[in-house]
Amino acid sequence: MSNHLNFYIDGKWVAPVVAATLDVIDPSTEEAYTKISVGSRADVDRAVAAARAAFSRFSQTTKDERLALLRKVHEVYVRRYEDVAQAISQEMGAPITWAREAQAGAGQGHLESTIKALEDYQFSELRGSTMVVREPIGVCALITPWNWPLNQIVCKVAPALAAGCTVVLKPSEIAPISGIVFAEIMDEAGVPKGVFNLINGTGPDVGQVMAEHPGVDMVSFTGSTRAGILVAKAAADTVKRVAQELGGKSANIILPDADFAHAVREGVNACFGNSGQSCDAPTRMLVPATRHDEALAVARHAAEAHRTGDPRSPETQLGPVVSQLQYDKIQRLIEAGISEGAMLVTGGPGRPEGLNRGYYIRPTVFGHVTPDMTIAREEIFGPVLSVMSYEDEDDAVRIANDTVYGLAAYVQSRNIDNARRVAARMRAGSVYLNYPDWDTFAPFGGYKQSGNGREYADWAIHDFLEIKGIVGYGA
């Protein structure tokens, strides 16, 4: 029996207080394939009350009890792995191979890193005669996006539970089905009633209500900077903690001594992964001015090698973007790049050849992009790369840091000392040297308008804790 029209509150699948539904669109066909219920203030009140009632007991559980719970969640997640992958593939158009290897794999990876981090985590330490204790902050409202559904759900839910918090989760209403599967996993794993709750709904009707709710102690939000500002304002009246992972416009500096063809080719691949729908994607490629045309030739070849098409095919590398809204925004920004004088190297407006429906974007590369152009400043969130020139290292660093965002940066060099030196100058929360493997133990979060707080492993557990000093404890 499908739970698409239900919410998970206080350990049970329940109907919304007020019946209202929303179509879920398959972005590869532009057609609705199911419906979800959307919630209201009354549903938020129910879920927060359940989480508050559960907090008094769950906050007092031992680390070993919470480890046992997370290990059981991991066990059930592995069993439901294909269900997770299929849900993500259909709801956001992710190619099925990518959905299995990257999207569903991210959720499993975060469970494993959180379990390892919790095993090693110390919740108290004696400093002289003062005992410093880290305690769960309380009821946490978790608002997650559509572009990496299980990645963002698990990297919030797992550390919140590891800390001893209780949660109310609102997945994106655009890609909600994987969140429902995750709630089924939590239920099967035996999470105590009220510890984990899920409500579907829109940002204004559910997310905003969660952020301003006096029964919520913390909001953890991932999404656009515009929406993050609204969440922070809604939370301000009750002075609750707000952790945010927001937008990005990440620079990829290819230093003169890099393996140039490899660095450009992998930069294209990194930008286009997940159909360009990653907040930390390296969307601005900075190359030496004397090698700009060489970079464009490599980038064009790499972009045109991407196979765009049906997400159900194991051969597909790029699926559609998630919605008509995203498709229209990306088309508008591609047109802006052309009208403002950037060189269109490959791709451009419209759908790829042979695709007459679905929110498909032509893999696009612009060359000779200048820092003042719209495509160099706005987050596009599609498979669109801007190649820019720099004169020397100082110029590259200046261009890279000339953005309101600060989520990620990338540096390529054969000389690791050179790469490290440039990394030290980047105003970004994460800097990736020479396309390293993904590390779920590294802190993830941004500077400037890319947010605050850090996610992943022990960094995330720490964000869900309050710090208490018991002075005279050791007297």
**Each residue of 206-226: pLDDT tens digit?**
999 999 999 999 999 999 999
Q: Tell me if 7-246+450-471 shares its fold with 251-440.
A: no
Q: Note the pLDDT of residue 1.
A: 64
CATH class assigned to 251-440: alpha beta
pLDDT of residue 475: 77
Q: State mean pLDDT over 169-192.
A: 98
Reported as a single tens digit per residue, the pLDDT across 391-414 is: 999 999 999 999 999 999 999 999
Helix 149-163 to helix 81-92 angle, to the nearest 10 degrees?
130
Rg of the chain's alpha carbons, rounded to an integer?
23
Q: Do residues 346 and 363 lie in contact, with contact meaning Cβ atoms separated by under 8 Å?
A: yes
**Mean pLDDT (whole number) for 318-326:** 98
The CATH number, out of the four listed (3.40.605.10, 1.20.120.430, 3.40.50.150, 3.20.20.80), of the domain defined by the range 7-246+450-471 = 3.40.605.10
Sign of the Cα torsion 302, 304, 308, 313 reads negative
Q: Give, in order, the Cα–Cα distances in Å from 442 to each of 114, 436, 438.
A: 12, 12, 9
What are the tokens at 80? 């439901």
Sorted by sequence, the CB contacts under 8 Å of residue 226 that are 6+ apart come out as none
Q: Look over the chain and give the mean of its residue pLDDT values, rounded to a whole number.
A: 98
d(CA 50, CA 34): 28
Domain locations along the chain: 7-246+450-471, 251-440
Q: What is the pLDDT of residues 77-131, one digit of tens each?
A: 999 999 999 999 999 999 999 999 999 999 999 999 999 999 999 999 999 999 9
- Per the residue annotation, which of 245, 266, 379, 455 is the catalytic one? 245
Q: Is pLDDT at 437 greater than 90 in this prediction?
A: yes
Quick check: 159 and 114 in contact, CB under 8 A? Answer: yes
Considering the candidates 91, 271, 279, 379, report the single residue annotated as catalytic.
Answer: 279
279 is catalytic: yes
Report the pLDDT value the prediction gives residue 410, as an integer from 0 to 100. 98
Mean pLDDT of 301-309: 97
